[in-house]
Chain A
């Protein structure tokens, strides 16, 4: 009892900074899911026939599936007929310049700290090309022309379907097939937009690429799809950010990210996930059911996932690497923080198919309040994969005595030359540590931020510079008010 419990009693919600809602006229489809809705989405997007077929096939497969129940998460059944599957801010069809974007939209992204004004960004030290997605559609992609000079394609998924149908047809579903899982099948049926990126042979992308997801309209689900193709010998660093308004209802976000990495290519994918987590009693918040997977297709290819998960009422996501090319490398670095009533079931899968493939998993969970935080990971070594190396480290940090931390590591080895290591630790932020900081003049909240940042350092160090600073602040903000 004593301080420890008082500390917990003071576990109040940190203010969610991005909880505002923008008053933007939207064009929405009626609630519910059926073939007509899918046809409507497809026709709004002016899609070719094969894509509609693909969607319908996915939908019909989805109908045969049951929602997965194996996650260490609890939520009332989702009524899939009570969701709006398409909502788009109303604006002119084709934008020629930034001036034509609805000012309210620009304001929304400004408030979120995302500049869609290329001039502004150019004056800064570094540049990031952004694809801004509001509800179901991409609002604006910046630096498209600059990137095109090096042959890089970076645009919204809808544009890619129109302008680069061959690439889309070749790679869509090649890493996450429509039959993959319940939410991936759902996404394939109704996805409305997302980002597409293609880095040609031998090109090192000169700037960070980023997609920013924003859910705005009430009652909508967001189902976007990101497809990244890194051709031979190329390199790209990709960032993803997300926020949503504060609402009492739960909103579903079921995205798919597919990454295709060719020989000698490298992709670094970083996420700072800050969806609305719900209030401190667990009311509202985003259900984040996401499938992220990369295929290291070519020899010596490399894929690195870095994620900082602070938001969502429920997180269900396992960014994975299929290491098919010989000597390919997969990495997963994760910090997942849950506070109040949040639930996270997250981790990674490393599938070793090629010879001499290597993988590394570093997962750092932080649980506070009454939250539940689970690591779930799979390391699989196939029979012909000789000399595989894997190292997994799963650490849990607990604050208070009402939260939970769980680890579910699965290891399946079919080749006896594999060397697989798993380390796990569980620790608690001690009152002693906090008091020690206090005694040196550091406030309790700063002490927690200091301790958590120290704990998560190995992962934060993997983030691109400007993201790392943002992430550190976010960690502090998420745990704000979690001690008295």
Chain B
């Protein structure tokens, strides 16, 4: 589904990603972990199409299409969804109105008909039940005055509505209490299928107790320095990121 090949990225001539290789197949859950400043969020932004970065080398294909050639809205319409670390507030625009605009533009792109108001509301009710989100959040202006937890829940609800092929959760666990974390993880798990894939970006192992990854990758200094299964996450939790840093430093010395 997603193939990242030798991706180099810089911002203002400062390199941030230095040769990322990653393949994500249908039905898989990948966790990307790493210390602060390792480039995790940059990777998420690049995949979503944020423009302040310069791609200096490498390719990214999504469903055999050149992802880097698409603008952000077309990437979304192709099925990439980014659950933001800091979802923005849009005053005066209700979630309902926002999502209806989004869903209908995606459907138009795919060449399937738009949903009328009745169909849309029915879908919304269904998905609200699925991810256990409260009606009151949906009728308020988008994210305006939401708590951190409410914003993250709303991201998962949007994901449920838009049914992406590849969902990228960027530090979705940051700032969540354990109850909100469970709701978010539950939503993600319910939306998981054989046809879609998920990339979970996180600093802590905690979220991975609830969303079980098939693969764990450690990002450090703009490279994936280690990959493994879910046990790697536990190991990191015990040993801390210094272990990785020392390991990388040792390897650099010998080479």
Contact = CB atoms under 8 A, between A and B. Distances in A.
Interface of A: 2-3, 430, 432-433, 435-444, 446, 450-451, 453-458
A441 B91 contact: no
Contacts of A455: 91-92
B90 interface: yes
A70 to B, nearest CB: 33
Interface size class of B (residues with CB under 8 A): 20 to 34
Contact of A453 (B50, B93, B105): B93
B97 to A, nearest CB: 7
A337 to B, nearest CB: 15
Contact of A450 (B49, B50, B52, B101): B101
Given A438-B76, A442-B101, A443-B105, A454 B88 contact: no
Best-surrounded residue of A439, A454, A455 (most CB of chain B within 10 A): A439
Given A441-B106, A450-B98, A457 B52 contact: no
A127 B99 CA distance: 33
A362 to B, nearest CB: 13
A67 B203 CA distance: 66
Contact of A446 (B51, B52, B101, B106): B101
A437 B48 CA distance: 12
Contact of A2 (B51, B77, B99, B105): B51
A439 B99 CA distance: 12
A455 B82 CA distance: 25
28 contacts: A2-B51, A3-B51, A435-B72, A437-B102, A439-B49, A439-B73, A439-B75, A439-B81, A439-B82, A440-B76, A440-B102, A440-B162, A441-B73, A441-B102, A441-B105, A441-B106, A442-B73, A444-B73, A446-B101, A446-B105, A450-B93, A450-B97, A450-B101, A451-B93, A453-B92, A454-B92, A454-B97, A454-B141
The 6 A-B residue pairs whose C-beta atoms are closest, nearest first, are A454-B92, A454-B93, A438-B72, A440-B102, A441-B76, A441-B106
B93 to A, nearest CB: 4
Contacts of A456: 92
Best-surrounded residue of A430, A440, A453, A458 (most CB of chain B within 10 A): A440
Contact of A436 (B71, B90, B103, B141): B90
B109 interface: yes
Contacts of A443: 73, 105
Contacts of B73: 438-439, 441-444
A440 B98 contact: yes
Contacts of B93: 450-451, 453-454
Nearest to B105: A441
B76 A457 contact: no
A454 B50 CA distance: 24
Contacts of A457: 92
Nearest to B168: A439
B88 A430 contact: yes
Contacts of A432: 88
Contacts of B76: 438-441
Interface of B: 48-52, 71-73, 75-77, 81-82, 84, 87-88, 90-93, 97-99, 101-103, 105-106, 109, 141, 158, 162
Nearest to A457: B92
Contacts of B84: 436, 439
Contacts of A3: 51-52
Contacts of A437: 90, 98, 102
Contacts of B51: 2-3
A433 B142 CA distance: 11
A432 B141 CA distance: 17
Contacts of A438: 49, 71-73, 76
A443 to B, nearest CB: 5
A42 to B, nearest CB: 49
Nearest to A430: B88
A434 to B, nearest CB: 9
Given A436-B88, A450-B101, 20 more contacts: A3-B52, A435-B48, A436-B90, A437-B98, A438-B72, A439-B48, A439-B76, A440-B76, A440-B98, A440-B102, A440-B158, A442-B105, A444-B73, A446-B101, A446-B105, A450-B93, A454-B141, A455-B91, A457-B92, A458-B92
Nearest to B87: A436
Nearest to A3: B51
A214 to B, nearest CB: 33
A441 B90 contact: no
Nearest to A440: B102
A66 to B, nearest CB: 42
B180 to A, nearest CB: 20
A127 to B, nearest CB: 26
A174 to B, nearest CB: 39
B72 A439 contact: yes
Nearest to A449: B101
A455 B92 CA distance: 5
A444 B75 CA distance: 13
B170 to A, nearest CB: 11
A432 B89 CA distance: 9
Contacts of B141: 454
B193 to A, nearest CB: 20
A433 to B, nearest CB: 5
B107 to A, nearest CB: 9
B71 A2 contact: no
Given A436-B84, A436-B88, A441 B162 contact: yes
B235 to A, nearest CB: 33
A454 B91 contact: yes
B117 to A, nearest CB: 15
Contacts of B158: 440
A292 to B, nearest CB: 27
Contacts of A430: 88
A107 B109 CA distance: 37
Contacts of A439: 48-49, 72-73, 75-76, 81-82, 84
Nearest to B80: A439
A333 to B, nearest CB: 14
A441 B79 CA distance: 9
B238 to A, nearest CB: 35
A428 to B, nearest CB: 12
A432 B143 CA distance: 13
Contacts of A440: 76, 98-99, 102, 158, 162
Contacts of B88: 430, 432-433, 436
A437 B90 CA distance: 10
Contacts of B98: 437, 440, 442, 450
Contacts of B71: 438
A433 B106 CA distance: 18
